[in-house]
Structure 1
Amino acid sequence: MEKILYLHAGAEMYGADKVLLDLVTNLDKNKYCPIVILPNDGILVTALKEQGIDVRVINYPVLRRKFLNFVGMSSYSFNFFKYSLKLLKIIKDEKIAILHVNTTAVLEGVFLKMFSKIKLVWHVHEIIVSPNVMFKLTSKLLSKFSDKVITVSEAVKTHLLSSGFFENKKELITVIYNGVDSRVFNLQVDSNEFKKKNDIPNDKLVIGMIGRINRWKGQKDFISSISTVLANHSNTVAVLVGGVFEGEEWREEELKAMISLDPNKDRIFQISFTKEINKAHKSFDIFVLPSINPDPLPTVVLEAMATGKPIVGYNHGGITEMVKVGYNGILVEPRNIEELSIEIEKLIIDKKLRNQFGENSLNRQANFFSLNSYVHNFEEVYNNIID
């Protein structure tokens, strides 16, 4: 049995957190023994323990924008070496065969690769648009130290290749689409319970969005576009679900202030992070994700597809591989608020189209983004690396 050590960037329960949980939970335990180390405590730690996974918390630093200054980099560098040595000891003591780094924000993988004989799999969930120096740095490190780079979409792979560091190493990169367990989202859950709990009217058509509130996820574009929709359709409400990074609570307050100025603010519901994501998805009639920057492969879209929802989003990033335009959703020009509103309204008006897109979403998720294929593809990568 081969031991695999997983390093991740946090302990929440958003996209990359969920797919890590799904992967280590569903690996063939006759072949692999997963050990997960996280930089902080949180609900992901609890979820992993509930599944019987060996999970530990070591406060290694994760590269964030807040470190991009002299004081920040000094603190980051000190802790980087301090905790990398602790991780190196675990690798040697546990006789770890493979290191799976689940984000480009955890650079400790470079140190561990340099000072051990471990095989390094780097799982890339990000499209780093800015700062460019960070994109160039991480791309160079990935190309130099990885035994295998896994990207979550062709969009991420193309972006990495554009760095120029994989010119003679294109075979190093493999695309493995994230998968979701459709059984979780097809459960006969009571969406009315979720609506009642959050004071959402039960007789209204719900346009929903789920995502961590940050600078690029698109919550402001969602509110701007939905403002016109709500004004034109009294039978609709809008629901946003998602929290913020610690220390960025001001983003949520800023969003609340924007909502408070909307003439139909009483029909816009903002909900912080919830564990009942399947119930939230079930309560939606239309799912919208207008990410301003290219979103690598947003798991929330797969979840929405697994609950049979039509999708509306911006035409860039990984969503273009998830949504087949005219089949299970609609994609519009990025930042075109007016067009976004128009396409949402089309689905409000045309119930038949809405239902057809929803049914097609179910089929597309099952055929291309299943949990089984996601786990199987990673097991093949592990097998090939060890051999």
Structure 2
Amino acid sequence: MKILHIEAGRNLYGGAKQVLYLLEGLQKEGFENILITPTGSAISKYATMYSKVYEIGFLGDMDITFPFRLNKIIKKEQPDLLHVHSRKGVDFWGGMVARLNDLPSICTRRVDNPEIKFLAKFKYHFYDYIVAISDGIKKVLSDVITDQSKLKTIRSVIDPSPFRNTESKEKFLAEFGLTHSDIVIGVIAQLIERKGHRYLINIMPEIIKEFPNVKVIFFGKGAMENKLRKMIKDLGLTMYFIFAGFREDIEKWIGLLDIVVHPADMEGLGISLIQASAAGVPIVASSVGGIPEIVKDGINGFLIEKGDEKGLYSKLLILLEDKSLREKFGKNGMKIVDKEFSVENMVKEYINLYCKLVK
């Protein structure tokens, strides 16, 4: 079976990483992959091992040239099925072009923000299946998709092995300018509004009163960086925060964090939380979107309400005070990932879906 995939992400994390896992797994099972991706995207150089790659420009929702370019590739490659993995306009046009070519199609939805209902109904009408990466996203989609039988949940996953092969403690301390006495909190997310970094910043003065040896590392980049730096400076907390940027070697460092915090306002699932659990790190996160599907309250971490700074403060204090609880939550998280978030399961579920559409 030949599958044509579209992934519009430029960086190799989140959704793009999921696509790479899927391409590799499909190739092992004898499938032929074709991938359409933005020019110069990070996924392109890795995907060539598992797929034929077309790098083209993406201009967003109103890119009226995209359907013509997609149609040209479909005519040339004659795939058996189209699988759209992204938004940025490709989900709007992909299903329509597939329908015009009498080609079965699937759209994977990775974010839980609401869409304009009439546009969403129109867009998803053309797809045979819409796959949500969490039950939280599925619930959002159920409001705009009339035929509920078209909705499926196939969770995002990771390969846990790299997250259990960390660098040495000494290298970690040297890399980020830390000391042996520091307790390290990590936030692994784009520096954008909806990820909620501000909530952690706001409670840090009180945290530091109790634990002056706490340090926070922000892994990620984004439009909010300057604003977050200013918030931290205005509170006189610059020495407690480290901006590490986007790290392609994140798997080497996560397991050396003491706690991962993710106070997001919305989140499809949270790949960084699966990574943290795989590495045996306890989590404090907002109970939004698909997060409760990976963070089990009181088992591998704590859940708080969206925007609840008091809750974030109290749960962080519990973990900061109790190293044995951090270790217990970490071990539980590793078990959850191994059982519920394996690459093999994700690939198998997609193959089952493909086989329903391609006889």
The one-letter amino acid of 1:122's match is C
Q: Which residue, out of 56, 61, 66, partners 1:83?
A: 66
Shift of 1:330: 0.4
Aligned twin of 2:348:
376
Q: Which residue, out of 266, 280, 290, partners 2:239?
A: 266
Q: Which consecutive unaligned segments of at least 5 residues does structure 2 have?
A: none
The TM-score with structure 1 as length reference comes to 0.88
The Cα RMSD (Å) is 1.7
Confirm or deny that 1:360 pairs with 2:332.
Answer: yes
Aligned twin of 1:147:
128
Listed one character per residue, the Cα deviations across residues 200-235 of structure 1 (whole Å, up to 9, x for unaligned) are: 334311111101111211111222233422232022
Listed one character per residue, the Cα deviations across residues 310-341 of structure 1 (whole Å, up to 9, x for unaligned) are: 11111121011111111111001110112101
Confirm or deny that 1:254 pairs with 2:227.
Answer: yes
Aligned twin of 2:184:
206
Alpha-carbon distance in structure 2 between the residues aligned to 1:188 and 1:257: 32
Confirm or deny that 1:19 pairs with 2:22.
Answer: no
Alpha-carbon distance in structure 2 between the residues aligned to 1:230 and 1:27: 49
Shift of 1:174: 0.8
Aligned twin of 1:71:
none
Asked whether the 8 Å contact 2:131–2:154 carries over to 1, the reply is yes
Confirm or deny that 1:339 pairs with 2:311.
Answer: yes
Q: How does 1:160-171 map to 2 (within 5 A)?
A: 160-163=141-144, 165-166=145-146, 169-171=147-149
The one-letter amino acid of 1:343's match is K
Listed one character per residue, the Cα deviations across residues 267-315 of structure 1 (whole Å, up to 9, x for unaligned) are: 111111011111231221111111112x111111100010011111111
For these two proteins, the number of residue pairs brought into alignment is 357
Alpha-carbon distance in structure 1 between the residues aligned to 2:29 and 2:194: 41
Alpha-carbon distance in structure 2 between the residues aligned to 1:83 and 1:140: 18
Alpha-carbon distance in structure 1 between the residues aligned to 2:152 and 2:169: 38
Secondary structure of the residue aligned to 1:304 is helix
Secondary structure of the residue aligned to 1:271 is strand
Aligned twin of 1:45:
44
Asked whether the 8 Å contact 2:165–2:252 carries over to 1, the reply is no
Secondary structure of the residue aligned to 1:81 is coil
The TM-score with structure 2 as length reference comes to 0.94
Alpha-carbon distance in structure 1 between the residues aligned to 2:338 and 2:29: 26
Asked whether the 8 Å contact 2:37–2:53 carries over to 1, the reply is yes
Shift of 1:195: 3.5
Alpha-carbon distance in structure 2 between the residues aligned to 1:153 and 1:139: 20
Aligned twin of 1:231:
209
- Aligned sequence identity (%): 25
Asked whether the 8 Å contact 2:167–2:253 carries over to 1, the reply is no
Q: Which residue, out of 111, 115, 120, partners 2:100?
A: 115
Q: Which consecutive unaligned segments of at least 5 residues does structure 1 have?
A: 64-75
Evaluate the alpha carbon distance shift between residue 140 and residue 225 of structure 1 in structure 2; reply closer, same or farther with a 3 A threshold.
Answer: farther
Secondary structure of the residue aligned to 2:216 is strand
Secondary structure of the residue aligned to 1:149 is strand
Listed one character per residue, the Cα deviations across residues 45-101 of structure 1 (whole Å, up to 9, x for unaligned) are: 22223x3432221103233xxxxxxxxxxxx3xxx2323212111111111111110
Alpha-carbon distance in structure 1 between the residues aligned to 2:315 and 2:274: 20
Shift of 1:264: 2.9
